Amino acid sequence: MINKKAQGLSTSTIILLVLGIIILVVLVLGFRSGWKPLSELMGGKNNLDTIATSCNSACTTSSKYNYCSVMKEVKDGKNPKFEATCNDLATNPVYTSRNYGIPTCPGLCTD
């Protein structure tokens, strides 16, 4: 009689398979429905640091278009999301009272 032993999967192999399936599902969802819903699902509640960095860079490099014209989608976690330019966020009293930390760039947005 031949004694055949069953070969089982190791725990690490099972864990790697599960992680691979999860990553595959996230990639499929991202490419089919877009990445925006996934980023909001994964904690995209506040993007003020990103906007402040972008506005500071636009001011430093004197990028008039990026600072004065490009609308940023602002999510501060307290108010409903809205769109505004860096100049609006830096000079409009409604936004400056919220202390978003957007630098003013004097003379850049004048016609």
The half-sphere exposure of 99 on its side-chain side, counting CA atoms within 13 A, is 0
Rounded to whole angstroms, how far apart are CA atoms 63 and 108? 8
- Per-residue model confidence (pLDDT) at position 15: 93
Q: Does residue 109 lie in a domain region? A: no
Residue 76 forms part of a structural domain: yes
User: Same domain, yes or no, for 65 and 89?
Assistant: yes
What was the pLDDT predicted at 21? 96
Residue 58 lies in a domain: yes
The verdict on 58 and 20 lying in the same domain is no
Q: Is residue 22 part of a domain?
A: yes
pLDDT at 1 over 60: no
Same domain, 55 and 92: yes
Look up the domain containing 29 and give its range.
11-41
* Together in a domain, 54 and 36: no
55 with 28, same domain: the answer is no
pLDDT grade for 48, boundaries at 50, 70 and 90: confident
Number of residues that make up the chain: 111
Q: Which of 78, 79, 89 is nearest to 50 (CA)?
A: 89
Say whether both 54 and 90 belong to one domain. Answer: yes
Q: What is the pLDDT of residue 111?
A: 65
- CB 45, CB 33: distance < 8 Å: no
Contact 77, 44 (CB under 8 A): no
Q: Give the pLDDT score at 95.
A: 87
Least confident of 2-6, 24-28, 76-80: 2-6
Number of structural domains, the chain? Answer: 2
Please tell me the pTM assigned to this model.
0.58
Work out the percent of the chain whose per-residue pLDDT is above 90.
41
Structure-token match 């032993």, residue found = 5
Report how far residue 73's alpha carbon sits from residue 82's, in angstroms, rounded to the nearest whole number: 6
Per-residue pLDDT of 7-47, as tens digits, reads 677 889 999 999 999 999 988 888 888 777 766 666 557 78
In sequence order, which residues have a C-beta less than 8 Å from that of residue 35 and are 6 or more positions away? Answer: none
Name the H helices within 7-47: 11-33, 35-41
The answer to whether residue 52 is domain-embedded is yes
